[in-house]
Amino acid sequence: MRCLAVCQDELVIRMLDEILLPGFEVEFVVENRPLARRLHEAGVRVTAGDPRRTDTFVKADLGPSTCVIIEDNGRRSPRKVLEAVTDAGGTLVYVLGIGTEASEKRADELHTDFPDVSYLSLSELCGGALVTEFGRSLTKARVQQYQRYFTDADRVLIMLHNDPDPDAMASGLALRNVLHRTKATAILGAMQGVTRPENQRMVNLLDIHVEPVTASTLREFDRIAMVDVQPHYFGGLIDRVDLVIDHHPEQTGYTAIFKDIRADYGSTSTILTEHLRAVDVNISERTATAMLYAIKSDTLFFNRQTNRVDLDAFSYLYPLADATMIRKMEGAEITEERLDAVMTAHHKGRLEDQVFCAFLGPIAREDFIPYVADFFLQLEGVRWTVVAGLVDSTLSASIRNLGYTKNAGELARRYFADIGNAGGHRAMAKAVMPINAFRAKYHISDTEEIMPRLHDLVAQFLREAPTRDVRTKAEDKEELKTR
Ligand SMILES: [Mn+2]
């Protein structure tokens, strides 16, 4: 997301550059030339110019989807700058109060003349959670913009890449939802249809219609949106679209009126989950199921580089989706090796007080562990699973629960963060640590003791009075980094 920040205070600039950088592409507009030069040399993206002039923003390529932050230091009124920004076409505008005592009064004053402008204070922005909040409110503003733009169209095409995969189809369904349309007025289309058997299974089970599109039928649509792909993919056939939502690296050479491209996200469905949440649209069970399946498959069941936003979207969709349907879609994924791992867990594991724990011993591949943990969560009477296994000298554990009890991520962090990597969310978490560190901390002399010890830990964790998920500043910061 592109962000233009109009700031004159070096400290504020450096701070904003630090806190906004992971999620936003920030560029500063600075009046003082020596300061601009110094910042430029320090690697900060900066333009020197008079912020009270419209052409400064025209030159900075300010568009309706660029977020603008204007510093208000309480001395000179930001009114002139606001006018210049508005004249240059800025619509997502925030005024950031820096050390202004009467920020509420200031916000009221500005609100009268600039009703669409939001007022924030620096201390709010720095408090981690608010950067998330800020991100949400920006997403909301952007979604509302494209929703409006699509309202009066008779027929909308939601274009997918060739041989659409789960993420493409789920994103298509989700966008149709955001646009409040049906399959008659928002058509999912592709130049080449679905061929892979596992994707066809999804098409059949969820009754998804992907219409064939050709260069000539493209003209029959009033608006074209693209999800999980960008126009360059079609080799010059489509060089102008109304909306692009994608998680692949941004490409050039096409025009899009609106776009939301987040290359650090694991799936396009993750971006669309945020869109749906931002504008409070009801997500149907079918759409949630498709999206959950898409996130799982695009992140290779969280084995590919996992982003916290993907886990967040996953936890949000989980209770809305039909788990049985997902298992049916995954059907063919039961391999003999996985079955072996499940059998081992069945022999060696134990179910006690609705908690299933198993230590698989040495295993060939780490991905058997989450698979087995997911598998046993389906078993009648199971509410928690903790499955561990050994790959070389590394002990890996996957923790799952049905999503409405205590926090799996908190359990992982509490018991394993000091001896390895541990983290996750309410319903799913993971810990990876050297086996020797685990043996030393939990006084394990024989591997037979591992499974009962896991049971003890879960029991101890569940016995404690419910706690709020208290997170440290460092974790909030970590979340920012992965946004
Ligand atoms: Mn994708």
Rounded Cα distance between 48 and 343, Å, is 66
> Whole-structure pTM over 0.75, yes or no?
no
- What's the 296 CA to ligand 1 centre distance in angstroms? 11
The DSSP H or E segment spanning 204 is helix 197-206
Environment class of 289 (CB within 10 Å of its CB; exposed 0-12, middle 13-18, buried 19+) = buried
Task: Give the count of domains, the chain.
Answer: 3
Judge whether 133 lies within some domain.
no
Judge whether 131 lies within some domain.
no
Rounded Cα distance between 279 and 277, Å, is 6
- What's the 244 CA to ligand 1 centre distance in angstroms? 13
- What's the 170 CA to ligand 1 centre distance in angstroms? 10
Same domain? 351 vs 455: yes
Judge whether 439 lies within some domain.
yes
pLDDT at 123: 64
Judge whether 249 lies within some domain.
yes
Residues 6+ apart with CB under 8 A from 293: 166, 170, 202, 321, 326, 329, 330
- What's the 164 CA to ligand 1 centre distance in angstroms? 10
- What's the 195 CA to ligand 1 centre distance in angstroms? 17
- What's the 294 CA to ligand 1 centre distance in angstroms? 8
Q: What is the 3-state secondary structure (H, E, C) of 312-363?
A: HHHHHHHHHCCHHHHHHHHHHHCCHHHHHHHHHHHHHCEEECCEEEEEEEEC
What is the gyration radius of the CA atoms in the chain, in angstroms?
25
- What's the 228 CA to ligand 1 centre distance in angstroms? 5
Same domain? 87 vs 21: yes
Rounded Cα distance between 124 and 141, Å, is 19
Rounded Cα distance between 63 and 297, Å, is 34
- What's the 313 CA to ligand 1 centre distance in angstroms? 14
- What's the 3 CA to ligand 1 centre distance in angstroms? 25
Judge whether 139 lies within some domain.
no
- What's the 284 CA to ligand 1 centre distance in angstroms? 21
- What's the 252 CA to ligand 1 centre distance in angstroms? 19
Q: Among all chains, which residue has been given the structure tokens 């500005």?
A: 110
Q: Are strands 2-6 and 25-30 parallel, antiparallel or unpaired?
A: parallel
pLDDT at 172: 98
User: The domain spanning residue 187 has which CATH number?
Assistant: 3.90.1640.10
Judge whether 132 lies within some domain.
no
- What's the 227 CA to ligand 1 centre distance in angstroms? 9
- What's the 225 CA to ligand 1 centre distance in angstroms? 15
Helix axes 197-206, 285-298, angle to 10 degrees: 160
Nearest of 307, 312, 259, 337 to residue 481 by alpha carbon: 307
> Which neighbouring-strand residues pair with 6?
29, 70
- What's the 424 CA to ligand 1 centre distance in angstroms? 22
pLDDT at 384: 95
Same domain? 221 vs 278: yes
Q: Of 274, 305, 326, which residue sits at a domain end? A: 326
pLDDT at 265: 87
Q: Of 326, 354, 373, which residue sits at a domain end? A: 326
- What's the 60 CA to ligand 1 centre distance in angstroms? 31
- What's the 387 CA to ligand 1 centre distance in angstroms? 29
Structure tokens at 192: 């080449």
3-class DSSP state of 161: coil
Alpha helices by DSSP H, listed for 362-449, are 368-377, 408-416, 435-441
Same domain? 319 vs 378: no
- What's the 128 CA to ligand 1 centre distance in angstroms? 28
Structure tokens at 411: 């359990």
Same domain? 247 vs 387: no
Mean pLDDT by 10 residues, the chain (483 residues): 86 76 82 90 89 91 85 83 90 78 73 82 62 77 94 96 95 97 95 84 93 93 96 89 93 90 90 93 94 86 62 84 83 77 96 96 89 90 95 94 80 93 80 95 95 96 66 38 29
- What's the 367 CA to ligand 1 centre distance in angstroms? 21
Same domain? 341 vs 467: yes
pLDDT at 302: 55
Same domain? 222 vs 160: yes
Rounded Cα distance between 85 and 113, Å, is 14
Rounded Cα distance between 375 and 335, Å, is 13
3-class DSSP state of 390: strand
- What's the 248 CA to ligand 1 centre distance in angstroms? 7
Same domain? 104 vs 170: no
pLDDT at 482: 28
The DSSP H or E segment spanning 69 is strand 67-72
295 to 29, 315, 321, 328, 397: CA distances (angstroms): 38, 11, 12, 16, 21
Assess contact for 399 and 428: CB atoms under 8 A.
Answer: yes
- What's the 83 CA to ligand 1 centre distance in angstroms? 40
- What's the 247 CA to ligand 1 centre distance in angstroms? 6
Same domain? 254 vs 278: yes
- What's the 388 CA to ligand 1 centre distance in angstroms? 30
pLDDT at 431: 92
Q: Quickly count helices (H) and strands (E) in the chain.
A: 19, 18
Q: Among all chains, which residue has been given the structure tokens 């629960």?
A: 401
Judge whether 137 lies within some domain.
no
- What's the 298 CA to ligand 1 centre distance in angstroms? 6
pLDDT at 64: 77
pLDDT at 474: 40
Same domain? 343 vs 306: no
Same domain? 386 vs 468: yes
User: The domain spanning residue 54 has which CATH number?
Assistant: 3.40.50.720
Query: Which range marks the domain in which residue 428 is found?
Result: 335-482
Judge whether 357 lies within some domain.
yes
Q: What is the 3-state secondary structure (H, E, C) of 214-245?
A: CCCHHHHCCEEEEECCCHHHHCCCCCEEEEEE
Rounded Cα distance between 238 and 218, Å, is 9
pLDDT at 100: 55
Same domain? 116 vs 62: yes
Residues 6+ apart with CB under 8 A from 114: 82, 86, 93
- What's the 221 CA to ligand 1 centre distance in angstroms? 24
Q: Of 267, 296, 326, which residue sits at a domain end? A: 326
Q: What is the DSSP letter of 402?
A: -
- What's the 274 CA to ligand 1 centre distance in angstroms? 15
- What's the 197 CA to ligand 1 centre distance in angstroms? 18
- What's the 219 CA to ligand 1 centre distance in angstroms? 26
User: The domain spanning residue 464 has which CATH number?
Assistant: 3.10.310.30
Structure tokens at 5: 């920040």
Rounded Cα distance between 167 and 358, Å, is 32
- What's the 302 CA to ligand 1 centre distance in angstroms? 14
